[in-house]
């Protein structure tokens, strides 16, 4: 597109979309990977993705991939970066990243191209330089956690402050002070009390909170 004098060579290149899908499970940040059942890189793991369908937007392709693999939609999904020369079939790969609540996902069942959650601190061998994409996504996630409310997309409708804190700790990889954490998130206005409590085990019941907005907001 756009202005250019040069002879009008029109590069047509094969373009694909991949999605880094993060969740927090058992206090660990995990990403969804798919085991490759065919060459190239058979037996290695790769991010979910694929070519665009005819007339499909790139956002649309990312949304579709996310839904195909996890069954969820209406979650945080954002474009991450566009790569080239990654070594796969596509010349250009537009990467997205998504955040999902583990409890809401239903992974596609496939014996051949099996999807599975992998802790990002213990990844298997990855195809097509997918480490680079994952590393960038993780960094963006850490940043966004600090100055946006994106954590809403990793938690259920109602949750306790301890659960919320565990999500932050899993992603940032550091423990936090309970009192400071609570003051901060309540003070920022991203969550509010529901008035309901939840009894779980031999201790005082926990207040349940909800997000004031389930749309991404920059603080």
Partner DNA sequence: GCAAAAGTGTTCTCTGTACACCCATGT
Partner DNA sequence: ACATGGGTGTACAGAGAACACTTTTGC
Interface positions with a second copy (CB under 8 A): 1-6, 8-16, 18, 34-36, 45-54, 56-59, 79, 81-82, 84-90, 92-94, 110, 112-113, 127-128, 130
Question: How many other CB atoms are there within 10 angstroms of residue 25's CB atom?
Answer: 14
Rounded-to-integer distance, Cα 69 and Cα 75, Å:
14
How near is the Cβ of 59 to a second copy at its closest, in Å? 8
With CB under 7 A as the contact rule, which of the stretches 38-46, 76-84, 109-117, 173-181 interacts with DNA?
A: 173-181
* Binding of DNA by 183 (CB under 7 A): yes
Rounded-to-integer distance, Cα 159 and Cα 198, Å:
9
Residue in 140, 150, 119 with CA at minimum distance from that of residue 213: 150
Kindly tell me which of 81 and 117 has the beta carbon lying closer to a second copy: 81
- Of the chain, the end-to-end C-alpha distance in Å amounts to 35
Kindly tell me which of 132 and 182 has the beta carbon lying closer to a second copy: 132
Residue 10, exposed/middle/buried by CB under 10 A (0-12, 13-18, 19+)? exposed
Kindly tell me which of 85 and 199 has the beta carbon lying closer to DNA: 199
* Binding of DNA by 161 (CB under 7 A): yes
Kindly tell me which of 12 and 203 has the beta carbon lying closer to DNA: 203
Rounded-to-integer distance, Cα 126 and Cα 50, Å:
16
* Binding of DNA by 194 (CB under 7 A): no
Rounded-to-integer distance, Cα 121 and Cα 131, Å:
11
List the structure tokens of 131: 């480490």
* Binding of DNA by 160 (CB under 7 A): yes
With CB under 7 A as the contact rule, the residue among 145, 172, 206, 217 that binds DNA is: 206
Host H or E run for residue 32? strand 28-35
* Binding of DNA by 182 (CB under 7 A): yes
Kindly tell me which of 83 and 159 has the beta carbon lying closer to a second copy: 83
Rounded-to-integer distance, Cα 169 and Cα 130, Å:
24
Check if the beta carbon of residue 31 is closer than 8 Å to that of residue 126. no
How near is the Cβ of 210 to DNA at its closest, in Å? 14
Task: Give, as ranges, the residues between 36 and 65 that touch DNA (CB under 7 A).
Answer: none
Kindly tell me which of 66 and 164 has the beta carbon lying closer to a second copy: 66
Tell me which residues touch DNA (CB under 7 A).
Answer: 160-162, 177-180, 182-184, 197, 199, 201-207
């Amino acid at each position: 597109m756009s202005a250019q004098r040069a002879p009008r060579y029109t590069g047509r290149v094969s373009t694909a979309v991949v999605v880094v899908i993060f969740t927090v499970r058992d206090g660990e940040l995990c990403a969804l990977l798919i085991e490759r059942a065919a060459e190239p890189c058979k037996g290695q793991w790769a991010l979910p993705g694929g070519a665009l369908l005819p007339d499909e937007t790139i956002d649309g392709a990312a949304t579709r991939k996310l839904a195909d693999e996890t069954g969820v939609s209406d979650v945080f999904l954002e474009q991450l970066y566009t790569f080239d020369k990654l070594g796969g079939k596509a010349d250009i790969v537009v990467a997205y990243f998504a955040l999902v609540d583990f409890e809401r996902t239903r992974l596609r069942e496939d014996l051949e191209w099996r999807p599975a959650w992998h802790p990002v601190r213990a990844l298997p061998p990855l195809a097509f330089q997918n480490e680079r994409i994952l590393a960038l996504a993780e960094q963006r996630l850490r940043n966004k956690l600090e100055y946006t409310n994106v954590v809403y997309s990793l938690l259920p409708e109602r949750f306790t402050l301890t659960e919320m804190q565990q999500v932050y700790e899993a992603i940032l990889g550091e423990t936090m002070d309970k009192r400071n954490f609570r003051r901060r998130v309540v003070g920022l206005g991203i969550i509010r009390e529901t008035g309901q409590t939840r009894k779980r085990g031999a201790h005082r019941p926990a207040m349940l909170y909800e997000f004031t907005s389930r749309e991404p907001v920059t603080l």
